[in-house]
Amino acid sequence: MKLKAINKFSTELPKKSAFTIETELDFPKLHTLCIASGKRGGGKSVAIANLIKKAKDKNYYDKVYLITPTYNSNKQIWDIAGIEEADVYEPDMGVLKTIIKNVEAEKADWDAFLSRKKLMSKFKKDMKETPFDKIGSRSLIEYLDSGFFEPKIEDEWKYKVEQPPRLAVIIDDSLGTDLMARRTAGLTNLCIRHRHIADGLGLSIFMLVQSYCALGGVARAIRENCTHLLLFRINDENQIKKVKEECDLPCSDEEWLSMCKYAHDIPFNFLMLDFVPKTECRRYRCGFDNYIITDSNPCKCKSSDKMNNNKTVAEIKVPEEKEKEIK
């Protein structure tokens, strides 16, 4: 068999990925569809609350909505993330429509802000360069209606950084509710198109569940669109193997089991899987702060992207005598 190139059909890639938020090299890509899976009381809420806090500190999120039936009992945890009580919702049938309307309203506010800013720039230019009697009547009416002749005319964007609003929603303790019922496709549809809603403004989704791929857990279509998985301790080894099989991870069974054991030996800790890593060696983490480098997943980054030889990198080398225990 021989191949002959057709130069006329070369593929041109976009200069910048669509529907993404630029983040630091070691921070997960956004927008994300992140699933945190583990037993009750295993630390899922605390982990996500701290991740949201870190993201807010870096101005990656401006507003975060929370869908949960257990807000009052977990309020101290969600206070870590700076969740406002007005942004908390019950997991009922209409909640997703409300969240989407909120996102669309944020997009409308941003568009209105940009339009007003553009008009204000025109107003300032006219006031500086154009004789008053030469300014068109339509423009004067626009300026007057916009309040530009008032003493204070400088408008500020409502969030810290002048950028399109960055939004996220957390769904917690909602398995078994109407929101996640298999007979309704609303959540699945949102998870599939979450980057595209509100004309591409997008929405990150964090889903906290007690079961990832077991019967009654997260819908398969949602799992297939997941960008990050926080896997907390699982006592059933068959379920651990099933996660690897479904995720089609590029590591051996021995490496996978040793990574899980390494992460789960620490109380309330988790193994983080990044399905869209910025570099291949950033695919696995022990918690948020430690990368796991395996024999099948060595670091091949260029020098500027290389990870430091400090505590942020955890090399997993399983001694032969331990392999039998893990197996």
77: domain CATH number is 3.40.50
Q: What average pLDDT does range 21-32 have in this prediction?
A: 90
**Together in a domain, 253 and 323:** yes
**Together in a domain, 172 and 37:** yes
Q: What percent of the chain has pLDDT over 70?
A: 84
Which of 175, 204, 229 marks a domain boundary?
A: 229
Characterize 193-204 residue by residue with b for buried, 16 or more Cβ atoms within 10 angstroms of its Cβ, and e for exposed: ebbebbeebbbb
**Together in a domain, 66 and 187:** yes
Which of 205, 229, 253 marks a domain boundary?
A: 229
Report pLDDT for 77.
95
Report pLDDT for 21.
83
Contacts 24+ apart (CB under 8 A), 179-182: 179/67, 179/91, 179/92, 179/93, 179/95, 179/96, 180/91, 180/219, 182/219
Q: What average pLDDT does range 228-255 have in this prediction?
A: 88
Report pLDDT for 293.
85
Query: Amino acid identity, residue 185?
Result: A
**Together in a domain, 114 and 220:** yes
The two tokens of residue 99 are: 């969240």
Does the pLDDT of residue 18 top 60, yes or no?
Answer: no
Report pLDDT for 302.
61
For the chain, the average pLDDT equals: 85
CA distances, 250 to each of 195, 244, 264 (Å): 26, 9, 20
Specify if 6 maps to a domain. no
Angle formed by the axes of helices 186-193 and 95-129, to 10°? 40
Task: Read off the pLDDT of residues 62-78 as tens digits, 9 standing for 90 and up.
Answer: 999 999 999 999 999 99
Measured between alpha carbons, how far is 96 from 116 in angstroms, rounded to an integer? 30
Which of 229, 255, 287 marks a domain boundary?
A: 229
Report pLDDT for 312.
35
7 or 292, greater pLDDT:
292
**Domain housing 324:** 233-327
Question: Are 299 and 316 spatial neighbours (Cβ–Cβ below 8 Å)?
Answer: no
Kindly indicate the confidence band of residue 106, based on its pLDDT and cuts at 50, 70 and 90: very high
The two tokens of residue 112 are: 């209105």
Report pLDDT for 311.
34
**Together in a domain, 259 and 208:** no
Domains in the chain: how many in total? 2
Task: Read off the pLDDT of residues 190-213 as tens digits, 9 standing for 90 and up.
Answer: 999 999 999 999 999 999 998 887
Specify if 44 maps to a domain. yes
Measured between alpha carbons, how far is 44 from 34 in angstroms, rounded to an integer? 12
Compute the Cα dihedral for 186, 187, 192, 195 and give only its sign: positive
Helix (H/G/I), strand (E/B), else coil: 165: coil
Specify if 15 maps to a domain. no
Report pLDDT for 108.
97
**Together in a domain, 217 and 260:** no
Alpha helices (H) along the chain: 44-57, 75-80, 95-129, 137-145, 186-193, 197-200, 220-224, 237-247, 253-264, 320-326
Report pLDDT for 326.
36
